[in-house]
Amino acid sequence: MRSPPLDSRLRTPTPRTAVLAAAVLAVPSVLLLLLVAFSWRPLLALDGDIARTTHRWAVDEPGVTHVFRVLTDWVWDPWTMRALGALVVVRLVWRRSTWWPALCVAAACVLGTAVQQSLKAAVGRARPVWPDPVDSAHYAAFPSGHAMTATVVCGLLLWLLQLYGAGRALRRTALALAVISVVGVGLTRVWLGVHWASDVLGGWLLGALVVALAVVAHERRFGTVRG
């Protein structure tokens, strides 16, 4: 079955769905932030157990570790993801003249970066330290910038495909790639010993929250938007 072109009439989403999703995501996001900020001991203990186990694997499996470093430093790097988001914004504006969705995507990417860097500075969580590190990273640990940026960009792309009525095969392929990217980048950060597991979880939750807020912003103006 032929899928409708991207410049067809935008599909009308359900406003309450995005608002509910944002509200649901906000609760665990704030809760995890508080637990990390106040150094809740059970969480720190769990993070430590996971980190020690995965670091041992990383040291014992240098081949896998090398592959993960390539993926996290090049394929799933935040700047790679932001470049992908920028290309989507340019295409929306230049080829389709869809200013409002393009603005929502651009604003969400900027917001995600601002929230990420602000929380890193405010929480100031130290990264794991190892006597035999397999990788290194800068800035504070919480939340994971790699995990949050991948979630924001991949989530926005999936939303756009749904919004413009892309074919089922394309949406399923995109969903599979998005899941692999978002989950994969989070796992690589923990495996490489540069993030605690809760840093990655926080990145995922906050990234999904930013996407939900972008969808809410779009729906408030949807009645004036055409592809």
Rounded Cα gap, residues 181 and 146, in angstroms: 10
CA angle 44, 49, 55 (to 5 degrees): 120
Q: Is 138 a catalytic residue?
A: no
SS3 call for 110: helix
> What is the torsional sign of CA 86, 90, 96, 102?
positive
Contact of 76 with 184, CB cutoff 8 Å = yes
Q: Could you say which of 55, 66, 138, 195 is catalytic?
A: 195
DSSP-assigned letters across all residues of 49-115: HHHHHHHHHHHH-HHHHHHHHHIIIIIS-HHHHHHHHHHHHHHHHHHH--HHHHHHHHHHHHHHHHH
- 153, with CB counted inside 10 A (0-12, 13-18, 19+), is buried
CA-based max dimension of the chain: 58
Q: Is 195 a catalytic residue?
A: yes
SS3 call for 193: coil
Q: Could you say which of 55, 66, 146, 218 is catalytic?
A: 146
CB atoms within 10 A of CB 73: 14
Query: Any idea which residues carry the catalytic annotation?
Result: 146, 195
